[in-house]
Amino acid sequence: MGPALDAVSGVSTHIKQLSGSELKKSIRFLHFQVGSEGRAATSLLRVYRLLVDPVAFGLFLFRNRPDIVHINTSLVPKSYWRDLLYLLVARLLRRKVVYQVHGGALPEEFFAASALLRALLRRILKSVDVVVLLAQIELQAYRAFVPEVCLAVVPNGIDPSSLAREPLGSKAHGPLQLAYLGRLVSDKGVFDALKAMAMLAGEGREMHFTIAGSGPDEALLRAMSLQLNLTDRVHFAGPLFGEAKEELWRSAHVFVFPTYHEGLPYALLEAMAAGAVPVTTRVGAIPDVLTNGLHGLLVDAMDPVGLAAALRRLDDDRESLARMAEAGRDRILMHYSVARLADDFRRLYFGLLAKG
């Protein structure tokens, strides 16, 4: 279950990676689409879909009789309440349920002001067969919140072959090329990145910053770039896909990603596979993926001064930059491939079926 497969979404990417992996030789994947039209829908249409779609899902399950329902959700209010209805339908029809949480709040914080709603969340988590998480910090939080539930950490994975095909030696030279790819919203830290760029430009440093993606704050970001006199250093590339996206990663020295909260972003894995050294924050699964100073640099969120200092460090020490690029690529190739993702879910799926 998840959004349309052509949607620009981490969950859509996850579904495509999993269903297109080696697992398709032994598992038949069925896709039930939820959620993708929400941004364009009217309030009346949203209410209609809220009532009708769970019924359509029940008919879908009755007709196809899958062994396992894999619900991709997150602990944000919109996703949680919508997907609760689908979960109830799946349990009513006695399907085994994999409940994968793609980020959002930690469980104790999600309903911090309501003991009743926290109790409901515990009941929901206890009703599924396994809760799949992306990060070790989430595993610790869920164990404390509901220790009796079966939990598993399964990090995202990518196919790194095309991104990792070129040697990295040339990336240690020339003006520092920075890249961001993702939603253009304030909580991704993109405004902080522009402030850091302004500080470094004021020092006379030759850096160029490509911002790829789209989102509600794009106009504000463009206005800030103009206000800070960065138009000759900052390029807005719009959404990038396929070869254009891979070329962005291959040309970048540094992936600038000072996000405020996260699950496990595919952009991080792709950037590291291509040798773009991440400068990012200690949120979600990011500290699981990279070690500070070895694969990239970790900074505090909402700290443009600290972000500028990290970029300055990489600009001044190109040998360290090159070492981090190599180490980051090796990290992704060894631990964050689609093959590993498929193996993890093969064990999880067939383990559930073996329980009867």
Asked if domains 10-157+338-354 and 169-335 share a fold, the reply is yes
Q: Phi and psi dihedrals of 240, rounded to 5? A: -125, 140
State both tokens at 201: 């430009």
Domains of the chain, by residue range, sit at: 10-157+338-354, 169-335
Tell me the one-letter amino acid at 217: D
Mean pLDDT, consecutive 10-residue stretches, the chain (356 aa), reads 86 93 95 70 71 92 97 93 95 97 94 95 97 96 97 96 84 86 96 98 96 97 98 96 95 97 93 97 96 98 98 96 96 96 97 90
Predicted local confidence at residue 355, as pLDDT: 87
CA distance 160 to 156: 12
So what CATH class is 169-335?
alpha beta
**Superfamily for the 10-157+338-354 domain:** Glycogen Phosphorylase B; (3.40.50.2000)
Q: Is 204 left (phi over 0), alpha (psi -120 to 50) or beta?
A: left
Is 258 within 8 Å of 310 (Cβ atoms)? no
Predicted local confidence at residue 38, as pLDDT: 45
Tell me, rounded to whole angstroms, the distance of Cα 269 from its chain centroid. 9
CA distance 275 to 251: 9
State both tokens at 238: 């719009």
